[in-house]
Amino acid sequence: MKFGLVGGSGVIVNLAVVVVLQKLTGMNDHQVREALFQLWPTSKSVRVYHLFAMAAFVVANVWNFEINRFWTFGGENRASRKRLLRFFAVGLVAQLFGLFIMTLLMTPGSLFGLPRDVFDGSTGLRRPLYWAQLIQVLCTTPISFVLQKLWTFASLGSDSDASESEPAPQDRGTTGQPTKDSAALVSTHADAAAAAGEGQLTAPATSASSSPATTSSTAG
């Protein structure tokens, strides 16, 4: 549920970035469709709205990753920043599909183009750029959601459980219970101490038994 809520918030962030960029640049619907450069070796061109969409993708993906890392999966120990490249790779695949959808919606005369009599840009709610961005994000979010859940964050639970259940080698033997090696070492020391004790007990007896013989020999 948390993962889904974060994805929903990412949709809002994504659309908000496009709106802010359009407001800051002041471009109208015709200007955002202007070609910037040709996409070699095809005859297609990269247009202004493609750049808006890519900027929104970057911001929304950073937002989604960080919120998932701290809230959904509980901090650095559950979702390291090392997963960021994997997260962006999955998002980029979905984004490329989204750019294709957006191009169909924004191209006049396209089979899936937004009707210009309805989305004429007279108001914000009738601006085709906003609706094209929203539609492509809604279409690609389920793809990104499934891939992120099954690949990017799939091993978090098992990795965490393994690290918590398996003690580190250097920590073993510090819980108050002796290991096999320490028990063997204690036994060896105990045997040595017992042998030394027996030697100390038998030495005086030998000396005492030899004393009378020496005395009698001297007296004789």
Amino acid at 10: G
Q: Which pLDDT band, with edges at 50, 70 and 90, does 185 fall under?
A: low
Tell me, what DSSP letter sits at residue 124? Answer: G
The chain-wide mean pLDDT, for the chain, equals: 75
In degrees and rounded to multiples of 5, residue 47 shows phi and psi of -110, 175
Q: Which of 139, 137, 148 is nearest to 11 (CA)?
A: 137
The torsion defined by the Cα of 114, 23, 8 and 10, in degrees rounded to 10, comes to 120
Q: Picking from 1-10, 104-113, 158-167, which range would have the lowest pLDDT averaged per residue?
A: 158-167
Residue 56: its pLDDT value, please? 95
Q: Which pLDDT band, with edges at 50, 70 and 90, does 189 fall under?
A: low
For the residues 141-145, what does the mean pLDDT come to?
83
Residue 166: pLDDT over 80: no
Instruction: Please give the radius of gyration of the chain, using alpha carbons only, rounded to the nearest integer.
Output: 39
Residue 190: its pLDDT value, please? 55
Q: Please count the CA atoms within 13 angstroms of the CA of 103 that sit on its side-chain side.
A: 14
C-alpha angle 85/86/89, rounded to 5°? 85
Q: Which pLDDT band, with edges at 50, 70 and 90, does 164 fall under?
A: very low
Q: Which pLDDT band, with edges at 50, 70 and 90, does 70 fall under?
A: confident
Among all chains, which residue has been given the structure tokens 């989204």? Answer: 98
Residue 180: its pLDDT value, please? 52
For residue 144, the surrounding DSSP H or E stretch is: helix 128-147
Residue 153: pLDDT over 50: yes
Residue 24: its pLDDT value, please? 94
